[in-house]
């Protein structure tokens, strides 16, 4: 296997990175975790050591914040948050934590919730003002709900499966199997709060018993032992198979609220795999579109931008760096590890580079949109008249122009690029 063109070993001099004598005019990546390096603010001889208190583990996760590339400039706001820094609400048999605009100010279009339900544990019957999209990270989960015609839906999901419930649609979740489930929830409003959910028990606890009796045509005394507050997450009995659990007057919905994302045939690129799920193949998902990417060691999610929505990324495996170009000479680089969330505002140019030459990066790109859309810098250059490109970029270097134009003449998008060349 060829050494990736972006590998530090290809270009670094003999000096160790993050030292005053180190020189790298091309700002290559450094995998501080994989190479067990201690990031320090030295770049091309400039900078100084750190004398005060330090969080070395955090610095290893963010080497490009400790020593930004020379191309970073301006005052771009923070675009990174870790679920490890979110408050955890602990309940009997489960927990939940969220990343919203309150945790990450740039998370304006979407909010995320990471939730765990043990075996048999419910996320109680509820609904939201916002639409809910979810990706199963581990285990198995049963999903129930009804549609606008009053018809019901039940399905069992596992790792890599999705569900989507439009605004106001009531539903519930229950962990299955020996270990239950863990999943990522996405809501189509960055201001969402998991505490503002409409819950069945909370509603009934705050409705007069006489009204409950009239609504269900029963005696008020029947409701004297209802829960006095929300249950939210709570243990229950283990369910049987779906055919054994359906109610007597079950009317199946014609809507499909779930989808098997990882079962899709992937687009195989030179540097990894891409699976896109949006309203074109999951019709009910009108406000959330997503791509699942596997980026091979040393590979690059090519330079691109999204014209229709902010990108809300969730990193599942690996280590990556992203530089965001915000126009007006502003750019900033962030590093991500598993469990991190990244934001790239609409139309801002960016890439995702796998920092490791040994481990894959697995990431979800999620958008408040009905379709996944992006523009490829490579494709744009290949589809633009050659003279136009050369005079823009290489007016003083005709040899570089010839080599560049040769490289883009196919004009074919390669969303995840193999950088070995």
Q: For this structure, is 109 an active site residue?
A: no
Residue 189 CB partners (closer than 8 Å, separation 6+): 109, 110, 111, 129, 130
Q: Which two tokens stand for residue 358?
A: 């040994």
| φ, ψ (nearest 5 deg) of residue 173 | -135, 145
What is the distance in angstroms between the CA of the first residue and the CA of the last residue of the chain? Answer: 10
CA distance 326 to 38: 29
Q: What is the pLDDT of residue 170?
A: 97
CA distance 417 to 396: 28
Q: What is the pLDDT of residue 2?
A: 43
How crowded is the C-beta side of 254, counted as CA atoms within 13 Å? Answer: 2
Residue 135 CB partners (closer than 8 Å, separation 6+): 160, 161, 162, 183, 184, 186, 261, 290, 314, 364
Detail the residues annotated as belonging to a binding site for Mn(2+): 126, 128, 132, 171, 304, 306, 311, 350
Q: If you ran DSSP here, which 8-state letter would residue 357 be given?
A: S
Residue 202 CB partners (closer than 8 Å, separation 6+): 229, 230
SS percent in the chain: helix, strand, coil, step 5? 15, 35, 50
Tell which residue, 122, 96, 116, has the closest CA to residue 238.
122
Parallel/antiparallel/unpaired status of strands 300-305 and 289-295? unpaired
Q: Calculate the alpha carbon distances from 294 to 134, 142, 158, 363, 417 in Å.
A: 19, 27, 19, 7, 11
Domains and CATH numbers, the chain: 1-70 (no CATH), 82-259 (2.60.120.10), 374-420 (no CATH)
Which position among 130, 245, 365, 383 bears the catalytic label? 365
Each residue's pLDDT, cut to its tens digit, for the chain (421 residues) gives: 344 455 554 455 567 999 999 999 999 999 999 999 999 999 999 999 999 999 999 999 999 999 999 999 999 999 999 999 999 999 999 999 999 999 999 999 999 999 999 999 999 999 999 999 999 999 999 999 999 999 999 999 999 999 999 999 999 999 999 999 999 999 999 999 998 999 999 999 999 999 999 999 999 999 999 999 999 999 999 999 999 999 999 999 999 999 999 999 999 999 999 999 999 999 999 999 999 999 999 999 999 999 999 999 999 999 999 999 999 999 999 999 999 999 999 999 999 999 999 999 999 999 999 999 999 999 999 999 999 999 999 999 999 999 999 999 999 999 999 988 6
CA distance 104 to 408: 37
């Amino acid at each position: 296997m060829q050494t990736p063109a972006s590998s530090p070993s290809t270009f670094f001099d003999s000096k160790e990175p993050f030292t005053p004598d180190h020189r790298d005019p091309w700002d290559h990546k450094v995998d501080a975790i994989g190479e067990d390096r201690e990031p320090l603010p030295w770049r091309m001889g400039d900078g100084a050591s750190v004398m005060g208190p330090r969080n070395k583990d955090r610095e290893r996760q963010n080497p490009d914040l400790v020593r930004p590339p020379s191309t970073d400039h301006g005052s771009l706001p923070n675009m990174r948050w870790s679920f490890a820094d979110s408050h955890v609400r602990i309940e009997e048999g489960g927990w939940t934590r969220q990343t919203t605009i309150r945790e990450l100010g740039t998370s304006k279009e979407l909010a995320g919730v990471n939730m765990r339900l043990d075996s048999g544990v419910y996320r109680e019957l509820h609904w939201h003002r916002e639409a809910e999209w979810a990706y199963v990270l581990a285990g198995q989960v049963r999903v129930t709900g009804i549609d606008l015609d009053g018809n019901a839906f039940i399905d069992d999901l596992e790792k890599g499966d999705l569900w989507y419930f439009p605004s106001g649609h009531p539903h519930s979740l229950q962990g299955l199997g020996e270990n239950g489930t863990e999943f990522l929830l996405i809501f189509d409003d960055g201001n969402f709060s998991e505490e503002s959910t409409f819950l069945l028990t909370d509603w009934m606890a705050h409705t007069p018993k006489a009204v409950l009796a009239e609504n269900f045509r029963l005696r008020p005394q029947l409701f004297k032992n209802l829960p006095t507050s929300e249950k939210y997450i709570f243990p229950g009995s283990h369910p049987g198979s779906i055919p054994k659990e359906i109610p007597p007057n079950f009317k199946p919905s014609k809507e499909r609220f779930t989808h098997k994302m990882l079962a899709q045939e992937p687009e195989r690129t030179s540097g990894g795999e891409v699976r896109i799920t949006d309203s074109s193949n999951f019709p009910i998902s009108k406000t959330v579109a997503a791509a699942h990417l596997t980026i091979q060691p040393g590979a690059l999610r090519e330079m691109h931008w999204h014209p229709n929505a902010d990108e809300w990324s969730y990193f599942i495996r690996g280590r990556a760096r992203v530089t965001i170009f915000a126009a007006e000479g502003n750019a900033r680089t962030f590093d991500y590890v598993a469990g991190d969330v990244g934001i790239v505002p609409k139309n801002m140019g960016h890439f995702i580079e796998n920092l490791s030459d040994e481990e894959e990066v697995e990431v979800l790109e999620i958008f408040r949109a009905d379709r996944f859309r992006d523009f490829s810098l490579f494709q744009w250059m290949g589809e633009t008249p050659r003279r136009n490109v050369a005079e823009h970029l290489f007016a003083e270097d005709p040899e570089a122009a010839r080599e560049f134009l040769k490289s883009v003449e196919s004009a074919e998008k390669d969303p995840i690029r193999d950088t070995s060349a």
